[in-house]
Amino acid sequence: MKADDVRRAYAMPLSNPAYPPGPYRFFDREYVIISYRTDPDALRAVVPEPLEIAEPVVKYEFIKMPDATGFGDYTESGQVIPVRFEGKAGVYVHAMYLDDDAPIAGGREIWGFPKKLAFPKLVHEGEVIVGTLHYGSVLCSTATMAYKHEALDTDAIAEALGEPNFLVKIIPHVDATPRICELVRYRLEDIVVKEAWSGPAELELHRHVIADVARLPVLEIVSAVHFVADLTLGLGEVVHDYMASQGSDRHA
């Protein structure tokens, strides 16, 4: 293998990448998102500057992805936090747990998604949608939502999905010192929301040393939405370099 061949590589392992090049299109992506109020101090402890907390609310997500180009069929669960960046609304992706190697590797390497291997499920049980997250044998979260009680405006859901998303991408040097530490912004694109519903919901979070979703405790359920959409996961852009700004931060 020539050096030019190595320079054309886009992912690891070099001779057998874990995922194909993008873009990545998702079909029939099923969401259950439960928004809840949490402890403002706990929220401030996990949201990085220069993002600003919009309100003490967390969106807990279960997402079933049966058809994702390059990534296959998998399910994901995690927490995103409404924030503002330079005066504009968006969400900060705080934690993600999923059951498929390719999107874990691709998500972490390309964008910096905070993905960990776990065992989320989203199923329909009669008149209830049930989401569970297990890390190994331990139950970390349980969500229940009534099935299709009130139809929602699909255009409003699509508009919300189109807001910018923020991540912290971290890649160390080979000596484990920081090499890349960046705030990344990305968007979902070509969004088609096929149906959307609201209804009553409940959410329980359980303490776990690795899957620490309970670090942001549930104080009050605000709302719940259930919808199905096709969309493309857009590539990202760096909006803040923590390494480049460390000198100015130190003297601030």
pLDDT tens figures, 51-64? 999 899 999 999 99
Q: How far apart are CA 195 and CA 150, in angstroms?
A: 11
Superfamily the domain 18-251 falls into? Acetoacetate decarboxylase-like (2.40.400.10)
Question: Tokens representing 5?
Answer: 């061949």
Q: How far apart are CA 5 and CA 25, in angstroms?
A: 27
Q: What is the pTM of this model?
A: 0.94
Beta bridge partners of 237: 185
248 pLDDT above the threshold of 80:
no
> Is 115 considered catalytic here?
yes
Q: What is the pLDDT of residues 150-195, one digit of tens each?
A: 999 999 999 999 999 999 999 999 999 989 999 999 999 999 999 9
Q: What is the residue whose two structure tokens read 């390497």?
A: 109
Question: Among 115, 121, 169, 194, which one carries the catalytic annotation?
Answer: 115
